[in-house]
Amino acid sequence: MVAFNVVRFKVKPGMETAFLDAHRSIAQSWSGLRHANIIETGEGRYCIIAEWESIEAMAASRPQMIATLDSFRETLEDLGGGLGVTDPVAGPVVLSAK
């Protein structure tokens, strides 16, 4: 069953290019990844939305996702509210409209 994960970030001013560059090669290292987009949701605020072959494929790629995060962690600001520098959610698709 197809799954998605969404992660929210706040990037430090002037660090946007480093943040985006860290994601340019994820297709090679995140096995099971079907597609990913990064959207800008506000000034310095971004979300990555990734589609996976399955929940199992996504779980198996967590070490690579963490390694990617570690490569750009210094570009991120704390989101506040005890979240740290990321706000991740994930789950299987339960309805597909198109």
Please write the tens of the pLDDT for every residue from 57-85.
999 999 999 999 999 999 999 999 999 99
Helix (H) or strand (E) holding 4: strand 3-10
Q: What SS3 state is found at 22? A: coil
Q: Residue 10 domain-assigned? A: yes
- The total of structural domains in the chain comes to 1
CATH classification of the domain holding 19: 3.30.70.100
Structural domain of 15: 3-91
Which of 21, 24, 45 has the alpha carbon at shortest distance from 36? 24
Q: Residue 30 domain-assigned? A: yes
| 32-49: pLDDT as tens digits | 999 999 999 999 999 999
Instruction: Tell me what pLDDT residue 8 has.
Output: 98
Instruction: Tell me what pLDDT residue 79 has.
Output: 97
Determine what percent of the chain is predicted with pLDDT higher than 90.
93
Place 5 in a pLDDT band, splitting at 50, 70 and 90: very high
